[in-house]
Chain A
Amino acid sequence: MVLDVNKKKYKVIGTRPIRHDGYDKVTGRAQYGADLKLPGMLIGAVLRSPHAHARIKNLDTTDAEKMDGVFAVMTAKDLPRLTDAERGNSEESGSEKHLSENVMAFDKVLYKGHVVAAVAAKDQNTALEAVKKIKVEYQILKSVTNVDQAMAPGAPILLEDFSGDHLGKKVRKTNIAAHVRHNVGDVDAAFKKAELIIEKEVNMQTVHQGYIEPHNATAVWDEEDRIKVWTSTQGAFDVRDSVSKVLGLGVSRIRVTPMEIGGGFGGKIPIYLEPIAAVLSKKSRRPVKAMMNRTDVFDATGPGPGGKVKVKIGIDSKGKMLAAYADIRLEAGGYPEAFIEAAAKCVFSCYEIPSMRIDAYDVLVNKASSAPYRAPASPQVAFATETVVDEICLQKKFDPIDFRLMNVATKGTRTALGPKYRTIGLQECLEAAKNSDQWKSRLDSKPSSGKKRGRGIASGYWFNIGFKSSVNLALNSDGIVSLTEGSTDIGGTRASIAMQAAEVLGIPAENIRPTVVDTDSIGHTDVTGGSRTTYATGYAAYKAAYKLIDEIIEKAALKWDINKNDVEYSDGVIKSKTDSALTMTIQEIASDSPGGPIVSSASVDLEEAGGGFAVHIVDLEIDEETGKTDVVNYTAIQDVGKAIHPSYVEGQMQGGAAQGIGWALNEEYFMSDDGVMLNSSYLDYRMPISLDLPMINTIIVEVPSEEHPFGVRGVGEPPIVPPIPAIGNAITNALGLRLLSTPMKPSRIIEALKKEN
């Protein structure tokens, strides 16, 4: 269902063509990273630390080097160790030293699975056997696996050379990589005026993005010191930049070809295997392909941060929010960056609150370095805020939607980080929720199964980044337009980008042939993430299409020997404005265009688009004897600005909801006392299967963004934000008790029920 506030009529936008890369994907022809084969290729394998926190005392690779079938062995000594002056200070967050050491540890390992060495051998089994022959002597150190342990006095320090930034002060010997604070208004005074204050703290376990395709990278390092890399990544240019930093080579010496990618959700933004494959290739003089297995993926690739979030909200007697406070502590993993600025940006984003203070802490723990996971940090803070909101509604007997509408963020609302919202669509989403079939349906509270049912609702937000994208267009002699772009396609963006160009050109979507190309073949394009792709790369395609029209008009004018102001273009046809005899199609001009082929190029560097809001409604059924929880009805409502390809927009909404449901009910990193993930397989890291979910209803709301010609907003990330609090609120509605930890698994439900009785 699509609710269009703007009601503009488009020819291609809003239709549902078959995606251009679809045929290759349903026939098995599409080439993902692990499918690549190059002549003479060797297989790379890595040695990983079994310990969560240890010093590397000694590393002996001689036995591996001597093994039959082994062609190269590497350690961190094979990576450049440039001085701090050349490489940026290791004291700083986001330093290249940390990037390099995450790829391969130099003197210390910070999480179980941290790479310490690698080999290249003739086949997979030989490589794995060779890795076993590398001898490492570790001095095991005490480890910390959550924010409480890491922040406690006397906690073992992970990064010994590093200075944390605590509200602008540099602090050494700390696991708090950063402490930031945001202030709006006067929160202390405002709380004093509040008639009711509710405070809740939530505790969340680490989760993984769970993409089905493990990481991979293939590299060739040639005699001219040029490197070719093939990898399944969300950002070919980001890989190029990162590999350049780690290997100490200029970016133009590295060509990255993005292969098809089997899921990312943010987790395939960081690099892992690329520099390793490259160095092994240099040492062996052969192409090298390295792939992770599922255990490696869980142990050593960036998860979504666990942590603790405390939210306190004060309202006046009518229910208007006066003040809000948040204390956010998120796990960064072994190296900094737990997305705390994003957390601060999102925590109160759905509401207009005159006074806010947010303290956010980026905390180092002995786990893999956190990677973005679909709206990073927004689900965590939404759980806290939407729980408090739900509790206020319960205590004051407010309708959950009306209370949210009373305090809804709209255009002009000041956000916690300062800027005011431009046009946004949360209000429209809440109203759509109110009118939805699910919200209006009776919840059968005593169904015949003898289980309890409950309903929950929650809102969520994600901004979408803009940044840089480039697009090239070329008109072929058959009137078909080739479109090349650099945004790797994880969910159908190739199609949505092509559709935007097609809309401008007035030709069918099938008449644009989009290809995702390598870093040598297109201008810089930033990552496929942050919900920017349809927005920014689409915008670049839009601009390139208009430029193509200019070119078409110019060439037609030349051909007809008239002034170009006399020429007009519409829907694939070029005409003279004054002489009706002069008319031709784009095929005709393409096959005979004076002065050269008709091509165009455009690039953008955009600000954030207006941000996307989502409201989800969930009905749960809970077996009070066992704690088993089933989702029986679900509706995802979201303002997408403009749905370019509604099927893929719905797909993002459903996919995000499914991940949020798994996060809420069953997913967690189950850690041993010495910092090892015990459930590092799909057997015990429990993601939803087809039997665990109902059909997921979607309601697409379209409040066009001001920043994009078609009003596009980022779609991919908001839908993972509401499910966790919606489910928490549904459990409260069903059972009359509130869970404040994820996952809200059966044993927790039974424990809570027993405590109540």
Chain B
Amino acid sequence: MHQFNYYAPETIKDAISVLDKHGDRARCLAGGTDVLVQVRGERFELDALVDVKNIPELTQSVWTDTHFIFGAAAPCYQLYEDSKVCATFPGIIDAASLIGGIQIQSRASLGGNLCNASPSADGICPLIVHNTICEIAGPKGTREILVEDFCKGPGKNVLEKGEFLISLKIPLKSSNFSASYERFIPRNEMDIAVAAVASSVEMDQGIISKCRVALAAVGPIPIYAKEASNIIIGKEPSEQNIKLVAQKAQEIASPISDMRGTIDHRKDLIEVLTRRTMNKAIERIGA
């Protein structure tokens, strides 16, 4: 493996400086659970690994009047050990508490999971269905984009030279909103999702006023299944209507067959998981 240097900047400005200097021969280090495996597997060569965990904005959690903002390098356990986050965003916690085992969750972050841009990432679909915003900093300044626009291909994101993800910003929801994430794996932990769905729902006097469904592991990037999501808006959360959403999601899914699953099985799973997560999200609102 090509030897790389380690940098541990304490400010965003310092991080940008190193990242900009080395371009694509530099990467950020958050939890390391993806990047270290990849650099050792020689997927790419690095001259610099930039540890961003010493930059306060990258690991802190902040509640404002309108948003919950958490650092891109905040480890999963930081989210699920926070009772307010658990109560407010169970759909996010669904993902944070099942990425790998406890050892992985001590280090891995949802921001890193997003930047890694795997089509089967666990963290991305829940963020999409929460309308999450990415806060990005770079040589030209800061910018914001939606999570659903962040990935552009398997393992590829829209960050440009010198840019990195600072934090994730979730708009606060009404008490009639909830979400759920479920993935299918052959064992009971430690697997990459064969197929996965996140669903979020907001209810208004017994009618679904908002709905978002996102699909993982069934396309080159996590898919915001807009058409499926819109089918049920303005309608009742009946079994029949939910089934329509699930069937549409199944149509939208475009999986491949590989060592983790077949096209047929993945399509079947999308239908099942969409139903289950829609039901769970609705159940959570009721509770």
Query: Which residues of A are at the interface with B, using a C-beta cutoff of 8 A?
Result: 125, 128-129, 625-628, 630, 665-666, 670, 678-679, 683-684, 686, 688-689, 691-692, 745-747, 750-751
> How many Å lie between the Cα of A361 and that of B1 in the bound state?
43
Given contacts A626-B272, A750-B264, A750-B268, 7 further A-B contacts (CB under 8 A): A125-B3, A626-B268, A628-B186, A683-B191, A747-B262, A747-B264, A751-B265
Helix, strand, loop or mixed for chain B's interface? loop
Chain A residue nearest to B261 (CB atoms) is A747
Q: Which residues of B contact A666 (CB under 8 A)?
A: 186-187
Is B260 an interface residue when CB atoms closer than 8 A count as contact? yes
**Closest Cβ–Cβ distance, residue A522 to chain B (whole Å):** 41
- Asked, given contacts A666-B187, A691-B188, A691-B189, whether A684 binds B260 with beta carbons under 8 Å apart, the answer is yes
Is B259 an interface residue when CB atoms closer than 8 A count as contact? yes
Q: Once the chains bind, are A683 and B265 in contact (CB under 8 Å)?
A: no
Q: Which residues of B contact A628 (CB under 8 A)?
A: 184, 186
The 5 tightest CB contacts between A and B, nearest first, are A691-B188, A747-B265, A670-B259, A625-B272, A678-B259
Chain B residue nearest to A693 (CB atoms) is B188
Q: Once the chains bind, are A689 and B189 in contact (CB under 8 Å)?
A: yes
Q: Once the chains bind, are B264 and A689 in contact (CB under 8 Å)?
A: no
A-B contact pairs, 18 of them (CB 8 A): A125-B1, A128-B1, A625-B268, A626-B269, A628-B186, A630-B188, A665-B186, A683-B192, A684-B259, A688-B187, A689-B188, A689-B189, A689-B190, A692-B187, A747-B261, A747-B262, A750-B268, A751-B264
Chain B residue nearest to A747 (CB atoms) is B265
> How many Å lie between the Cα of A239 and that of B269 in the bound state?
49
> How many Å lie between the Cα of A552 and that of B282 in the bound state?
81
**B233-285 residues at the A interface, CB under 8 angstroms:** 259-262, 264-265, 268-269, 272
Chain A residue nearest to B259 (CB atoms) is A670
Q: Once the chains bind, are A750 and B265 in contact (CB under 8 Å)?
A: yes
Q: Once the chains bind, are A683 and B184 in contact (CB under 8 Å)?
A: no
> How many Å lie between the Cα of A666 and that of B194 in the bound state?
13
> How many Å lie between the Cα of A627 and that of B266 in the bound state?
11
> How many Å lie between the Cα of A692 and that of B1 in the bound state?
35
The winner among A128, A129, A628 for most chain B CB atoms within 10 A is A628
Chain A residue nearest to B258 (CB atoms) is A678
**Closest Cβ–Cβ distance, residue A400 to chain B (whole Å):** 28
Q: Which residues of B contact A679 (CB under 8 A)?
A: 259
Q: Which residues of A contact B260 (CB under 8 A)?
A: 684
**Closest Cβ–Cβ distance, residue A685 to chain B (whole Å):** 10
Q: Which residues of A contact B186 (CB under 8 A)?
A: 628, 665-666, 686, 745-746
> How many Å lie between the Cα of A128 and that of B1 in the bound state?
7
Query: Which residues of B are at the interface with A, using a C-beta cutoff of 8 A?
Result: 1, 3, 184, 186-192, 194, 259-262, 264-265, 268-269, 272
> How many Å lie between the Cα of A684 and that of B272 in the bound state?
23
Q: Which residues of B contact A683 (CB under 8 A)?
A: 190-192
Q: Which residues of A contact B261 (CB under 8 A)?
A: 747
Q: Which residues of A contact B262 (CB under 8 A)?
A: 747, 751
Chain B residue nearest to A685 (CB atoms) is B259
**Closest Cβ–Cβ distance, residue B253 to chain A (whole Å):** 15
> How many Å lie between the Cα of A679 and that of B192 in the bound state?
12
Chain B residue nearest to A687 (CB atoms) is B187
- Asked, given contacts A128-B1, A683-B191, whether A746 binds B259 with beta carbons under 8 Å apart, the answer is no
Q: Which residues of A contact B272 (CB under 8 A)?
A: 625-626
> How many Å lie between the Cα of A678 and that of B257 in the bound state?
13
Q: Once the chains bind, are B188 and A692 in contact (CB under 8 Å)?
A: yes
**Closest Cβ–Cβ distance, residue A562 to chain B (whole Å):** 67
- Asked, given contacts A128-B1, A625-B272, whether A746 binds B265 with beta carbons under 8 Å apart, the answer is yes
**Closest Cβ–Cβ distance, residue B276 to chain A (whole Å):** 9
Q: Which residues of A contact B192 (CB under 8 A)?
A: 683-684
The winner among B186, B260, B268 for most chain A CB atoms within 10 A is B186
> How many Å lie between the Cα of A254 and that of B188 in the bound state?
47
Q: Which residues of B contact A745 (CB under 8 A)?
A: 186
Q: Which residues of B contact A689 (CB under 8 A)?
A: 187-190
The winner among B191, B259, B260, B264 for most chain A CB atoms within 10 A is B259
> How many Å lie between the Cα of A600 and that of B190 in the bound state?
52
**Closest Cβ–Cβ distance, residue B192 to chain A (whole Å):** 7
> How many Å lie between the Cα of A52 and that of B266 in the bound state?
30
**Closest Cβ–Cβ distance, residue A670 to chain B (whole Å):** 4
- Asked, given contacts A125-B3, A666-B186, A670-B259, whether A627 binds B191 with beta carbons under 8 Å apart, the answer is no
> How many Å lie between the Cα of A128 and that of B259 in the bound state?
28
Q: Which residues of A contact B184 (CB under 8 A)?
A: 626, 628, 746
Chain B residue nearest to A671 (CB atoms) is B259
**Closest Cβ–Cβ distance, residue A684 to chain B (whole Å):** 6
Q: Which residues of B contact A128 (CB under 8 A)?
A: 1
> How many Å lie between the Cα of A691 and that of B264 in the bound state?
27
> How many Å lie between the Cα of A627 and that of B190 in the bound state?
18
**Closest Cβ–Cβ distance, residue A125 to chain B (whole Å):** 6
> How many Å lie between the Cα of A686 and that of B188 in the bound state?
11
**Closest Cβ–Cβ distance, residue A560 to chain B (whole Å):** 64
Chain B residue nearest to A749 (CB atoms) is B265
**Closest Cβ–Cβ distance, residue A68 to chain B (whole Å):** 13
Q: Which residues of B contact A692 (CB under 8 A)?
A: 187-188
> How many Å lie between the Cα of A352 and that of B119 in the bound state?
55
Q: Which residues of A contact B194 (CB under 8 A)?
A: 746
> How many Å lie between the Cα of A303 and that of B258 in the bound state?
22
- Asked, given contacts A627-B265, A747-B261, whether A691 binds B187 with beta carbons under 8 Å apart, the answer is yes
**Closest Cβ–Cβ distance, residue A548 to chain B (whole Å):** 49
> How many Å lie between the Cα of A692 and that of B192 in the bound state?
16
> How many Å lie between the Cα of A670 and that of B1 in the bound state?
27
**Closest Cβ–Cβ distance, residue B5 to chain A (whole Å):** 14
Q: Which residues of B contact A750 (CB under 8 A)?
A: 264-265, 268
Q: Which residues of A contact B264 (CB under 8 A)?
A: 747, 750-751
**Closest Cβ–Cβ distance, residue B193 to chain A (whole Å):** 12
**Closest Cβ–Cβ distance, residue B1 to chain A (whole Å):** 6
> How many Å lie between the Cα of A630 and that of B185 in the bound state?
12
